Amino acid sequence: MQTQSAAADIAIDIADVNLHYGALHALKSVNMRIPPRQITSFIGPSGCGKSTLIKTLNRMNDLIPDCRVDGNVYLFGEDIYHGMDVSLLRKRVGMVFQKPNPFPLSVFDNVAYAPRTFGIRKRASLQRIVEESLRKAAIWDELKDRLNKSALALSGGQQQRLCIARALAAEPEVLLLDEPTSALDPISTLRIEELLLTLKDSLTIVIVTHNMQQAARIADDTAFFLHGEVIEYASTERMFEMPTDQRTADYITGRFG
């Protein structure tokens, strides 16, 4: 375990992580230190390891047969692969996927799902959490009169913000997003980006994106992945203006990918 002083400056410390799917070496000696209360973006071509790494940060890859992870991942100084309860980890590290995936339940029951799972049963407490989470996700005004309606009746952009509210209801310390706007229209994408910029005041956010403009707009730091390796990891401004690796420059300028 890291020292407390080191952990205070690092939200997620990825130390020499290798990941295999059977014989496939999908992540190769990844080392990254992700600071707290910032947005960090992962960019790179399809199949380069971005989504694989983000799923490693809350052990979603545990669900995949023949997956093996070597190395260490520390969450505020605690090793998530050695001794940390997985349910607690996924409470502390929320996940939002590429395609909105609301449960076939009411808006209210979607957001109340995690609090109920963790033992909150009083209606007043659940109502408070649901409202707070929807407000944090900037969708309370749109849904406050539709709490008992099916979440599946919402638009795609509303469903994705509802999924963010559902993740926030667990009061996570870190929010992971795997291409959360790739299926959304430009207006919905802008709303999600504005939301993330607000949330980073209290959360550490890691986002996988194929959208170079999106990374430039919202990310404080950016990591460029290629063939399972982190080629470059720097402030977004520096990476986009003065990349140190020619492969990064080629990708950002559209020469491949």
pLDDT value at position 254?
86
pLDDT in tens, 16-30: 999 999 999 999 999
DSSP letters for 138-204: T-HHHHTT-TTSBGGGS-HHHHHHHHHHHHHTT--SEEEEESTTTTS-HHHHHHHHHHHHHHTTTSE
User: 3-class DSSP state for residue 15?
Assistant: strand
Average pLDDT of 229-239? 97
Domain spans of the chain? 4-252
Conformation bin of residue 29: beta by default, left when phi > 0, alpha when psi is -120 to 50: left
Q: How far apart are CA 171 and CA 173, in angstroms?
A: 7
Q: Which fold has domain 4-252?
A: Rossmann fold (3.40.50)
Q: How far apart are CA 17 and CA 73, in angstroms?
A: 8
pLDDT of 117 > 70? The answer is yes
pLDDT of 257 > 80? The answer is no
pLDDT value at position 37?
97
* Share of residues in the chain with pLDDT > 70 (%): 96
**How is residue 198 written in tokens?**
């607000």
pTM across the whole model = 0.93
Bridge partners of residue 226, in order along the sequence: 229
pLDDT value at position 224?
98
